[in-house]
A and B are shown apart, each in its own frame.
Chain A
Amino acid sequence: MGLVPLAGLICRREWLLAVRSPAQVLNPLVFFVLVIAMFPLGISPAPEVLARIAGGVIWVAALLAVLLSLESLFREDRDEGVLEQLLVSPHPLPFVVLVKVLVYALLVGGPLVLMSPVLGLMLSLPPATYGTLVAALLLGMPTLFLLGSVGAALTVGLRRGGLLLVLLVLPLYVPVLVFATAAVDAAQLGMPVRGHLALLGALLALMLVVAPVAAAGALRVTSEE
């Protein structure tokens, strides 16, 4: 089988799984909204305070929502034996992982990106910054899923893997968080944002190359455990 039909098959399978158990896709979205709703309650409902922290709050909530969803990235495939089939199949494993992660990012991360301007509105973020917020999420979100796939692959076979996954992956998210919130801040101050977005794009390009190889290697290691 060529790589394109293979990618089509993986996309179709992931799509069907997501449609038939929508909770897996919707729970991170509900989590995302709920976490953000806690900040005005906990800090202050004053619009000027909220506008100042909005970019960071949305991004931290997005990181946590992604982390929460990562545990199920390979878990079910492993429990049902799909992972073993992929490991022994003749297809290049990094490619399979790449397609799987990107589809997963689209299914889980997509709703978060679509929701973010609404949340920006609720946090009194100036409307002029929505474009930057969405652009930063579009560039940063796949990076989060790609980096996270390495952590998910490393912890898939372990009991109590969930907390360990957070410990492994969260430090690696720091650069994405820094550049993305810097972009939103710059947009709020009316400064150019292209440099920050370019750095996010560079991180994405790097991770597109590195992460699938590392995650595939990690899946091979954890399958021996």
Chain B
Amino acid sequence: MGWLATWYHRWASPPWFYQMSGRWTRGLMGLALPLLCVGTLWGLAFAPADYQQGNSFRIIYIHVPAAMVAQSGYILMASAGLVGLVWRLKVADVVLRNCAPIGAAMTFLALATGSIWGKPTWGAWWVWDARITSMLVLLMLYLGVMGLGSAFRNEQAAGRASAILALVGVVNIPIIKYSVEWWYSLHQPATFRLTEKPAMPVEMWAPLLVMVLGFYAFFGAVLLARSRVDLLDRERRSRWVRSLVAEHAI
């Protein structure tokens, strides 16, 4: 357990986080871009068309990864909130506050692509299906965290208030996940299951897997890049930022 404690203490220190997150951002972006390019090309051009939905199903390669990242983003945000509340870590606060806009964007992307996909498949742009509604609620939860965070003048209070809200909101995540089983509706059941073989043929889900990995890497890269800048701004009066600025000054 010793290495875990060391790792944890290192990442909790702002200068270390700043330095390492730079490397990680570059690494994750270097992973995300090829994955997203390959996945998009493979999914849109080479994967076989669906026998029922034809080519319109190809939007799944954006829709499903965006929805997955949107949901995990909230859980990550709430976890950062818990860490921030319990150990009073500045880095956790920063990660939480920067999770919200990216998560909101991903949720919006999932809703928008779902709506575009719904038109040819169900014949309507918007259907009040349990899962779509849950995603809409998720979007509002993200917007609430963003709104609350910006309403405070004191950054520390803003971080802790957002953390409490994120933790209360996390109660809704299981409802989103299990809404499909609770209310029978028009939406098809979850595409990926850990315990079963996917219902799609390999040629269809392999590019989807690539896209999902690409989206996660992209999310991580953007989150770290944003957090890094935010941390630098908040710590602008500290010694390590001053010496960093002095180092890079011409």
Asked whether B113 is an interface residue with its Cβ less than 8 Å from the other chain, the reply is no
A225-B168 CB under 8 A given contacts A164-B147, A170-B140: no
Asked whether B165 is an interface residue with its Cβ less than 8 Å from the other chain, the reply is yes
B152-A172 in contact (CB<8A): no
Chain B residues whose C-beta falls within 8 Å of the C-beta of A175 in the assembled complex: 172, 175
- Tell me which of B141, B157, B167 contacts A224 (CB under 8 A): B157
Scan A201-225; emit 1 where CB is below 8 A from any B CB, else 0.
0000010001100100110011011
Asked whether A186 is an interface residue with its Cβ less than 8 Å from the other chain, the reply is no
Compute how far the CA of A160 lies from the CA of B156 in the bound complex, rounded to whole angstroms.
20
- Tell me which of B133, B140, B154 contacts A225 (CB under 8 A): B154
Scan B141-161; emit 1 where CB is below 8 A from any A CB, else 0.
101100110011110110011
Nearest chain B residue, comparing its CB with the CB of A221: B160
Compute how far the CA of A154 lies from the CA of B169 in the bound complex, rounded to whole angstroms.
13
Chain A residues whose C-beta falls within 8 Å of the C-beta of B167 in the assembled complex: 214
Compute how far the CA of A161 lies from the CA of B85 in the bound complex, rounded to whole angstroms.
23
Chain B min CB distance to A129 (Å): 21
Asked whether A158 is an interface residue with its Cβ less than 8 Å from the other chain, the reply is yes
A154-B137 in contact (CB<8A): no
B169-A172 in contact (CB<8A): yes
Interface residues in A, total, Cβ within 8 A: 25
Compute how far the CA of A155 lies from the CA of B154 in the bound complex, rounded to whole angstroms.
13
- Tell me which of B144, B148, B151, B157 contacts A171 (CB under 8 A): B144
Chain B min CB distance to A114 (Å): 29
Compute how far the CA of A171 lies from the CA of B153 in the bound complex, rounded to whole angstroms.
25
B161-A218 in contact (CB<8A): yes
Compute how far the CA of A160 lies from the CA of B137 in the bound complex, rounded to whole angstroms.
22
Chain A min CB distance to B165 (Å): 6
Chain A residues whose C-beta falls within 8 Å of the C-beta of B161 in the assembled complex: 154, 218, 221-222
A150-B168 CB under 8 A given contacts A171-B141, A224-B154, A224-B157: yes
Chain B residues whose C-beta falls within 8 Å of the C-beta of A217 in the assembled complex: 85, 160, 164
Asked whether B1 is an interface residue with its Cβ less than 8 Å from the other chain, the reply is no
B143-A172 in contact (CB<8A): no
B172-A154 in contact (CB<8A): no
Asked whether B199 is an interface residue with its Cβ less than 8 Å from the other chain, the reply is no
Compute how far the CA of A224 lies from the CA of B154 in the bound complex, rounded to whole angstroms.
8
Chain B residues whose C-beta falls within 8 Å of the C-beta of A154 in the assembled complex: 148, 161, 164-165
Q: Which A residues are within 8 Å of any B CB, using their own CB?
A: 147, 150, 154-155, 158, 160-161, 164, 167-168, 170-172, 174-175, 206, 210-211, 214, 217-218, 221-222, 224-225
